[in-house]
Chains A and B, each alone.
Chain A
Amino acid sequence: MSKITIPFGPQHVALKEPENFMLVLEGEQIQGATVNLGYNHRGMEKAAEERTYLQDLYLIERVCGICSHSHTTCYITNVEELAKAETPKRALAIRTLVAELERVHSHLLWLGVAGYEMGFETLFMYTWRDREQVLDCLELLSGNRVHYSINTIGGVRRDISAEQKTEVMKRIDYLVERTNYYIKLATEEPTIYARTSKVGMLPPEEALRRNAVGPTARASGIARDVRKDDPYLIYNELDFKVITHNTNDVFGRLVVRALELVESYKIIKQVLNNLPEGPIAVKVPMRIAPGEAVNHYEAPRGEDIHYLKSNGTDKPERLKVRAPTLANLQSVQYMLEGGWMADVPLVIAAIDPCMSCTDRAVVWDPKKGKKQTYGWEELRKMAIERYKRRGVDFSRLG
């Protein structure tokens, strides 16, 4: 049978974000795959050099719509290390709390996407409904559902009250119950096992060779977790396990993420029950003495690493951001080869590539003090107007 090469993406119904895979097919079987990236490059590292440390915090938060707290915490740890700031213990605890809530929200989202990709849409509906509980927790604590902006240089923006603690605990108890059901589902339901077992195999030696990170590596039996290996925030004081699995396939990645949820609930409860007393932020000067720092962080998808160089001004000299998906894409190439065309969306989704979506926006006008909510129709109309001014007319598209 002759080989054909087909492009998969950057625009494809099975992909949620722009990336391109060139698949060499022999019949339905994949003989080779190359990954092409860069469709979403926004020049943030360059932009960061032209902004102050505080402005960068809000820029870096927008690296990702889901790991927003991961990136800012990693960035801010570097800034505080260079500024030699003593961040209060209570602030570190609150950062840890938000980090774990974020992990819960990210993993529940992934469970839903995995369910969707394997044709189990009920699971998608279930987990995304439950994910609202954790998003409510985040909104309660920070005021925002996705970009929480809880971090500020030297601490956090908001304190946690006793009422908030009770509310979060209530929701976590509900989620624990639901997650036990998902674990049962993931490990005992025969259709899930049939669809995910032996799909997207990544043996441990390949995972190591290709430097896989996060749940992708842990599902290949590699116990690698920055929270344990090089503890940051207050992780060295917390009791939790690193979850690994040895099936090396999508099934393993499913089980690892489901069990990690339980560990995250454990951490959230520990932090809430032992919140240290004291201030939540210290003042940090605008200008930061010359120096270099590197820090990593266990984001929901794997290791995040940031390098920061300061030069004595209020703007960084160089900031480097490496998100976990970039580290894992080398492994995806291996997982796809020898597999089947129909498994491609599931295998790609299994590393949890980054995506973000939102269909509503609230505009706050500080001059008038008025809040206005825009719906989909209005946003669409505004977009059409905007492009019309630039000479492109989309209105005929209906």
Chain B
Amino acid sequence: MSEFEREEQIKTDLEKHFKGSVSNALVQRKNRVWAEVETAKLPEVAAWLRAAGFEYLATVTGFDEGENLGAFYHITDTHVIINLKVKTPRSNPAIPSVLAVYPGALSYERELEDMFGIKIGGLPPGRRYPLPDDFPTDQYPLRKDWKFVQPAEEKEAK
């Protein structure tokens, strides 16, 4: 596909530099590249991308696929968005932090901890985000098996 020369180039470079750690790389359309990265290699890949001009971590999207939890790291140079997918087992979910590369990642990573219960290795201590301080720490609302139960007092009010 020569019409997406730049995207193809990024894809090939990623696969070449991180042989064996990057899989399922795909140029979806103009300006969109997807790739799956080995979880432990994430900070390394992020650092390499940042050095290659991809200076913005736009956001991090957590997901629940049943057996695996994980996250997409949407990294961009404002033109091309690279979506890095990392997976981690549900029984012991953990992803290393990319804070050293992208300082703006703090709130996105805290969100992964709060909403999915994914342990982020290397996250500095601090207040939780976005859930309130008194929210139970063993409940992760964005996991698929979590269901909203309406509090009793709200039911009565209806």
Contacts and interface: CB of A to CB of B under 8 A. Distances in A.
Contacts of A320: 59, 61-62
B31 interface: yes
B78 A307 contact: no
B127 A36 contact: yes
Contacts of B31: 230
Interface in B118-158: 126-132, 141-142, 146, 148, 153, 156-157
B130 to A, nearest CB: 4
Contacts of A38: 128-132
B20 interface: no
Contact of A307 (B57, B74, B146, B153): B74
Interface in B76-93: 76, 78-81, 83
A39 to B, nearest CB: 8
With most chain B CB atoms within 10 A of its CB, the pick from A211, A226, A296, A390 is A211
B60 to A, nearest CB: 9
Interface stretch (B5-13, B41-49, B102-110): B102-110
A305 B78 contact: no
Contact of A43 (B80, B107, B141): B141
Contacts of A327: 58-59, 104
Contact of A309 (B32, B63, B126, B148): B63
A45 B153 CA distance: 24
A296 B76 CA distance: 11
B127 to A, nearest CB: 5
A230 B58 CA distance: 14
Contacts of A209: 103-104
Contacts of A224: 78
Interface residues of A, number: 33
Contacts of A390: 153, 156-157
Determine which residue in A36, A41, A309 has the highest number of CB atoms from chain B within 10 A of its CB, and name it.
A41
B63 A318 contact: yes
A305 B32 CA distance: 13
Contact of A45 (B58, B142, B148): B142
A31 interface: no
Given A226-B78, A294-B83, A41 B131 contact: yes
Interface string B60-74: 011100000000101
A204 to B, nearest CB: 11
Given A37-B129, A38-B130, A43-B141, A326 B107 contact: yes
Contacts of B38: none
B45 to A, nearest CB: 17
Contacts of B72: 307
A332 to B, nearest CB: 12
A208 interface: yes
A379 B79 CA distance: 47
Contacts of B34: 292
Interface in A294-331: 294, 296, 303, 305, 307, 309, 318, 320, 322, 326-327, 329-330
Contacts of A46: 141-142, 146, 148
Given A36-B127, A38-B131, A327-B104, A294 B81 contact: yes
Contacts of B128: 38
Contacts of A292: 34, 83
Contact of A211 (B56, B63, B132, B146): B56
Best-surrounded residue of B72, B128, B146 (most CB of chain A within 10 A): B72
B55 interface: yes
Contacts of A322: 58-59, 108
Interface of A: 34, 36-38, 41, 43, 45-46, 208-211, 224, 226, 229-230, 292, 294, 296, 303, 305, 307, 309, 318, 320, 322, 326-327, 329-330, 386, 389-390
Given A209-B104, A390-B153, 20 more contacts: A36-B127, A43-B141, A45-B142, A46-B141, A211-B55, A211-B57, A226-B78, A230-B31, A292-B83, A294-B83, A305-B59, A307-B61, A318-B61, A318-B63, A322-B59, A326-B107, A327-B58, A329-B107, A330-B103, A330-B107
